[in-house]
Structure 1
């Protein structure tokens, strides 16, 4: 056969799947609504509110509230995900649960604003955590449901932009509105949550699920699978889970105490620290957005996930260690710049990697809920661990601990075999 005829008979290269721009954009804005809650309440409002309630025990109270909220969310998300997977309605499998999460989360935020004791703050925050975490889980399930694997990192990058915009925008929002009243800050956050998630369900309605085959009958094995997926049977999922857990454990040990680090370690006054939060957030946003845009598209074009996740994890660890060497506002800005670059890349690629190692596409929301434990469990462990370290040893060892955790997280990505 001649070279010409061989070329003529060679099969054409498969075309790259097209990206649904309306779905991708709407998903990004919905992500803003979820993460503005954690940017505003999780980073600023709770810390400020608990300091007002009891200034002498602010660190311990914040650790307890964050830990309890994360535990409840960790247990609730796989359960909510299972019910979403099993939902058969003309509105689809995800829409009813996204709307329920938005409304319940908004009510929880208002209740948190009206709380005047540590106990009522903790209970109300648990409601917020369960609702918003589960709604965000439904949004993540849209990726394996409706986005081809070959372009998931690009779509994840847009979703990551929403994450950054929500986290940083929430910090700006809280810093601007706290002086005008706690209820106004929480109420505005709740309104954004409801508007963005409702808009997503209207603009990008889910496919009716009434015609799908009936869900599997509930069994003890299925219920056990809500919180456990066999590492022996699904090793790639287990390694991805552990890598995410270790990275976020290191990340949250520092970011959860950011306001107090600026006050007590860097030495800023209370008002100065509050003013510095948006500045640090702006640096994270600028570097994170640049990294998201580049890494998401590059990962899809190269068809590679692991190198990006490893590099991002190490870069985040490096950023978290900077304040140990440079204990100043400049050091915090360098931490924000490096952390933003790393976290932007991580946000773009990690979700795509996780969706490609799920044990079952049929149980995507439930399995993503299990993967979500790796995101929520550090929120339980990190405040308690950080509280013990800070109280007994001070802030310096905290940064070294965060760096070590990130390095271990990067190493866990290496054994994954089904994704390159």
Structure 2
């Protein structure tokens, strides 16, 4: 039984105007465009620690699906590599689509003295590391499908609660900066993963295990050095099966800003990954690069330079001027127009130029889109669940893009990927303009 000194989600009174909001009051009454209680160890520490935390996860997303997994599949059955990669990535990505909202639902309801997010961040990274180790020793298509699916599920159980840290603990006025630092960790991880991953093309199993260890260490340290408010005295609302089945649905009529933010991210990610997700095969089969390992590190560095420049500028600048949408629009235009270059000039030099420009655009997007997303969340009671739904817009393209791109490649060749990427990226820009909760 709950005593008067133990407020619940249902009974917690609203905060008085001008009074600091407590953790319980915040969860009971706030939405994404409300300021949360201050972090226990301070905001500056949290701002900087999000970089290695995201780095630990996105090194894996950069190294495995784009570099190590295609190489492993090529060694297993080179004549059927495109079809096999399509099978493995499609099943794995579908699992990730289901995993992150479910992880968010569980995280939102977790009662722990370490808070609602920390247990899942650590356990997800531990389970993911074990799954990566299994993938390292998989010697059949079925084994690779099972192991990669478990990798996707496990790391999404860590990534979903980690993404809820922004609306949980970061004030509105600093979310652009936080998103920029988060984006640096994300993109440096993704690109660094591709660079480092290319160094393990001759020892794929060792690469998997090293990335697993890095992720577990960085995420555990993030939790240790950035403790959250206890959630022991926060009583979740009663579980109802109907509510659980609604996990994957946010009413677009009731929450139109959420719908448009989701749509914009979905379109741009699908356009981007339809092209970049096939980089390994584009290099070998479209551009005629005999040894991709010699150029992938260079491409990663070019993209990283573009991303860092735009990310460092865009996030803090969006905080300063109080606007997010112009940056989203500009990033989508950069990504879309960059894809024209290799379409008209199928050379490695053209691909390098595209990599830099699209990296600049995608860095701008990552620096601002995360902050915009945090402001359209309906309720603090379900931040992690709703962000899990939002992140479907990032993970669903990993399902759609290989399927769509694989069909295009098999039908008309790699040249057909670029017009699709251009159109989807630019449509993603226009989708953010109807959003009213952010300028």
1:116 equivalenced with 2:135 (yes/no): no
Determine if contact 2:199/2:293 at 8 Å carries over to the other structure: no
SS in 1 for 2:201: helix
Aligned length: 400
Aligned match of 1:53:
76
Aligned match of 2:416:
397
1:393-414 deviations in whole A, cap 9, x for unaligned? Answer: 0111110111001111111111
SS in 2 for 1:76: helix
Q: 2:264 aligns with which of 234, 239, 243?
A: 243
1:205 equivalenced with 2:224 (yes/no): no
Q: 1:268 aligns with which of 289, 305, 319?
A: 289
Aligned match of 2:334:
315
SS in 1 for 2:288: coil
1:388 equivalenced with 2:411 (yes/no): no
The TM-score normalised by the length of structure 2 is 0.89
Aligned match of 1:12:
none
RMSD (Å) for aligned C-alpha atoms? 1.3
CA distance in structure 2 between the partners assigned to 1:308 and 1:373 by the alignment = 22
CA distance in structure 1 between the partners assigned to 2:133 and 2:393 by the alignment = 28
Deviation at 1:313, TM superposition (A): 1.1
Aligned match of 1:62:
85
SS in 2 for 1:363: helix
| 1:19-418 map, 5 Å | 20-179=43-202, 181-212=203-234, 214-269=235-290, 271=291, 273-418=292-437
**Unaligned stretches of 5+ in structure 2?**
1-37
CA distance in structure 2 between the partners assigned to 1:339 and 1:153 by the alignment = 21
Aligned match of 1:5:
none
The TM-score normalised by the length of structure 1 is 0.93
SS in 1 for 2:339: helix
Aligned match of 1:10:
none
CA distance in structure 1 between the partners assigned to 2:194 and 2:269 by the alignment = 19
CA distance in structure 2 between the partners assigned to 1:308 and 1:224 by the alignment = 35
CA distance in structure 1 between the partners assigned to 2:308 and 2:385 by the alignment = 29
SS in 2 for 1:218: coil
1:238-283 deviations in whole A, cap 9, x for unaligned? Answer: 01101100101111111111010000000111x2x12211111111
CA distance in structure 2 between the partners assigned to 1:407 and 1:172 by the alignment = 28
Deviation at 1:211, TM superposition (A): 2.0
Deviation at 1:113, TM superposition (A): 0.7
| Structure 1 stretches of 4+ moved >2 Å | none
CA distance in structure 1 between the partners assigned to 2:171 and 2:66 by the alignment = 34
Deviation at 1:27, TM superposition (A): 1.1
Deviation at 1:30, TM superposition (A): 0.5
1:332-380 deviations in whole A, cap 9, x for unaligned? Answer: 1111111111111111100000000011122100000000111111111
Aligned match of 1:14:
none
